[in-house]
């Protein structure tokens, strides 16, 4: 076979490999790409396609090797976009950020790669950088619902709510059954009797068959019914959606209880370990049950000229998991906590700061980490990062239970499996309450507990205590947190762009009948409800 025939065959294999990838046939794509690489070992395209195929069957490290070799031979944007995606998947956030920066010099020309870059930026918390890539993906492939959804999410995170609403309306016109689009659209603003999507949501829910779609649509419909004043119907719809989803979960509270127990057992070993070095940038950890005001406090603190928000980081859970050396599939489990308690606290602190750095925009400012679940790791934080400050949000127990029941968290995360049943949430809250009392005894003066209700009743007084605890000079900007233009990537995005309001205080009283079993449980557990 002459050289031209070999080259033609090589090109045919490359085209066929891309075709197989487009159909999700990773084994066939891998076979074709491997043959292309065998013919031309230095050709970048073959290594790239082989890397994508290997990633598709779960061989991520092998995939990264092939894509890195492709970049070495031809540093084009498409290759770098895929490498950044794999780096994020393997928790290499700093490396992913560097790869994206390199890709910006010659951005890819195809919609998938631009969307991929946007998704990686979003995972890094840089929503402003994600937006132009999502917009370009939509421009290149306007019929792609996934690209349109990602674009709308970024607009919402950046506070461009009217544009996000228009983008979602266009998406729903294109794909009337897109449950994620309906769910996000319902959350953008408070609906009114004259302007809502209740009929549209009812129709979509009636047609939905997939369990995840029914969950998203059920939450959206419940939210709009609540907004328009039909609280009984809203709660009934929410209870139905949650019950359907809860029935499909293999969750028992015993799993979470075991984690709480392991954290308390591990504390003596953590306390006896040599402390880490004080960090000059002194991170501020905002912890607590979800939906208790953590985002509000994050906005107050990050409105200070010397502070920025790094978002909800997984950096501490991952640093502890890495230090433990355990091979369990979950990040948080009793085995991991016990093993990490014997680890080098300085190494945990250093690993945390390294992981957090790629989420910072200005290294001259201190940063907040508002992952609520870091309350499990307060002991590790105190010992590994001696100069870090910790703030814990507290909210009325019944409002906390109701808020967790009403808000849909990351559906794929096992961390939130407790949130679909009122009594599961009540048991979780009681165990959280006990752990926080434990930390107050073990770490006296280290954790400032802030009541959401106090922030609402006396914004300036509570904010001044908060700022002082964090070792910051007072700044009036902290009172104007609602003017903070930084992105918000939580369910509280709409609320924290308003001045402080009292609407959410004592919301539980509107659902006292439905909460009676929870009230009895808390009374028996000795948890004050006044």
Mean pLDDT of the chain: 92
Burial of 337 (0-12, 13-18, 19+ CB in 10 A): buried
- Cα separation values, 441 from 379, 391, 434, 444, Å: 12, 15, 11, 6
CA distance 460 to 480: 10
What pLDDT, in 10s, does the model give residues 461-487?
999 999 999 999 999 999 988 776 666
* Section 484-509 average pLDDT: 66
Minimal CA–CA distance to 488: which of 218, 154, 261, 237?
154
What pLDDT, in 10s, does the model give residues 226-274?
999 999 999 999 999 999 999 999 999 999 999 999 999 999 999 999 9
Question: For the domain bounded by 253-525, which CATH number is listed?
Answer: 3.40.50.300
**Residue 376 confidence (pLDDT):** 98
**Contact by Cβ (8 Å): 431, 256:** yes
**Residue 25 confidence (pLDDT):** 87
* Section 16-22 average pLDDT: 85
SS (HEC) of 275-291? CCCCCCCCCEEEEECCC
Burial of 306 (0-12, 13-18, 19+ CB in 10 A): middle
Burial of 99 (0-12, 13-18, 19+ CB in 10 A): buried
The C-alpha angle with vertex 290 and arms to 525 and 493, in degrees rounded to 5, equals 150
Tokens of 326: 């355990």
Q: Which residues, in sequence order, are CB contacts of 429 under 8 Å at separation 6+? A: 289, 397, 400, 401, 527
Confidence of residue 2 (pLDDT cuts 50, 70, 90): low
What pLDDT, in 10s, does the model give residues 160-170?
999 999 999 99
Q: How many CB atoms lie within 10 A of CB 4?
A: 8
- Helices 315-324, 345-357: crossing angle, 10 deg rounding: 140
Element spanning 307, H or E = strand 307-309
Q: Which residues, in sequence order, are CB contacts of 8 under 8 Å at separation 6+? A: none
Confidence of residue 39 (pLDDT cuts 50, 70, 90): confident
Tokens of 416: 């939130």
Lowest mean pLDDT segment, chosen from 51-60, 135-144, 215-224, 500-509: 500-509
Q: How many CB atoms lie within 10 A of CB 303?
A: 23
**Residue 490 confidence (pLDDT):** 57
**Residue 211 confidence (pLDDT):** 96
CA distance 218 to 198: 11
What pLDDT, in 10s, does the model give residues 306-330?
999 999 999 999 999 999 999 998 9
Q: Which residues, in sequence order, are CB contacts of 70 under 8 Å at separation 6+? A: 44, 45, 47, 48, 51, 79
**Contact by Cβ (8 Å): 43, 37:** yes
Q: Which residues, in sequence order, are CB contacts of 433 under 8 Å at separation 6+? A: 397, 527
pLDDT > 70: what percent of the chain?
95
Q: Where are the domains of the chain?
A: 253-525
Facing residues of 393 across strands? 288, 450
User: Alpha carbon 255 to chain centroid distance?
Assistant: 22
| DSSP letter string, 478-504 | GGGGGG--S---STTTTGGGS---STT
Lowest mean pLDDT segment, chosen from 52-61, 175-184, 205-214, 426-435: 52-61
What pLDDT, in 10s, does the model give residues 80-105?
999 999 999 998 998 999 999 999 99
- Cα separation values, 152 from 146, 213, 324, 337, Å: 10, 18, 39, 39
Q: Largest Cα–Cα distance of the chain, in whole Å?
A: 87
**Contact by Cβ (8 Å): 177, 205:** no
**Residue 482 confidence (pLDDT):** 77
**Residue 395 confidence (pLDDT):** 97
* Section 22-51 average pLDDT: 85
**Residue 47 confidence (pLDDT):** 87
**Residue 278 confidence (pLDDT):** 77
What is the pTM (predicted TM-score) of this model?
0.87
Tell whether the model's pLDDT for residue 501 goes beyond 80: no
**Residue 486 confidence (pLDDT):** 63
Facing residues of 369 across strands? 285
């Amino acid at each position: 076979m002459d050289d031209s025939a070999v080259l033609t065959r090589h090109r045919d294999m490359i085209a066929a490999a891309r075709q197989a990838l487009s159909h999700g046939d990773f084994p066939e794509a891998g076979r074709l790409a491997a043959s292309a690489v065998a013919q031309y070992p230095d050709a970048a395209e073959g290594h790239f396609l082989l890397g994508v195929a290997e990633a598709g069957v779960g061989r991520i490290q092998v995939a990264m090797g092939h894509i890195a070799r492709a970049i070495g031979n031809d540093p084009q944007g498409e290759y770098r976009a895929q490498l950044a995606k794999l780096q994020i998947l393997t928790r290499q956030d700093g490396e992913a950020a560097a790869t994206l920066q390199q890709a910006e010099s010659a951005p890819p020309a195809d919609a998938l790669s631009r969307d991929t870059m946007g998704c990686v930026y979003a995972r890094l918390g840089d929503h402003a950088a994600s937006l132009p890539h999502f917009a370009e993906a939509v421009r290149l492939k306007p019929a792609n619902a996934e690209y349109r959804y990602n674009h709308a999410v970024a607009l919402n995170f950046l506070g461009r709510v009217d544009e996000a609403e228009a983008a979602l309306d266009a998406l729903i016109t294109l794909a009337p059954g897109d449950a994620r689009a309906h769910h996000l659209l319902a959350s953008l603003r408070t609906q009114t009797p004259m302007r809502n999507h209740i009929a549209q949501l009812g129709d979509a829910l009636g047609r939905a068959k997939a369990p995840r779609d029914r969950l998203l649509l059920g939450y959206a419909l419940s939210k709009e019914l609540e907004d328009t004043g039909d609280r009984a119907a809203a709660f009934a719809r929410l209870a139905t959606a949650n019950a359907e989803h809860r029935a499909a979960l293999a969750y028992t509270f015993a799993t979470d209880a075991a984690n709480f127990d392991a954290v308390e057992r591990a504390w003596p070993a953590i306390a006896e370990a040599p402390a880490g070095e004080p960090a000059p940038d002194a991170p501020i950890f905002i912890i607590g049950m979800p939906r208790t005001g953590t985002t509000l406090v994050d906005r107050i603190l990050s409105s200070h000229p010397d502070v920025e928000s790094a978002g909800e980081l997984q950096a501490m859970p991952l640093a502890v998991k890495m230090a433990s050396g355990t091979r369990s599939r979950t990040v948080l489990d009793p085995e991991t906590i016990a093993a990490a308690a014997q680890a080098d606290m300085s190494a945990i602190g250093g690993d945390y700061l390294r992981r957090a750095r790629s989420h910072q925009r200005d290294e001259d400012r201190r940063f907040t980490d508002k992952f609520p679940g870091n309350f499990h790791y307060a002991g590790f934080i105190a010992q590994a990062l001696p100069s870090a400050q910790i703030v814990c949000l507290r909210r009325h127990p019944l409002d906390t239970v109701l808020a967790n029941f009403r808000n849909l968290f990351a559906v794929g995360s096992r961390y939130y499996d407790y949130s679909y049943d009122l009594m599961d949430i009540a048991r979780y809250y009681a165990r959280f309450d006990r752990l926080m009392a434990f930390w107050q005894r073990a770490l006296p003066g280290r954790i400032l507990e802030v009541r959401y209700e106090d922030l609402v009743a006396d914004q300036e007084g509570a904010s001044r205590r908060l700022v002082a605890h964090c070792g910051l000079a007072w700044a009036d900007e902290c009172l104007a947190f609602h003017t903070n233009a930084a992105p918000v990537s939580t369910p509280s995005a709409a609320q924290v762009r308003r001045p402080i309001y009292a609407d959410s205080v004592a919301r539980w009283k509107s659902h006292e009948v439905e909460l009676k079993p929870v009230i009895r449980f808390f009374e028996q557990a000795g948890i004050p409800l006044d």
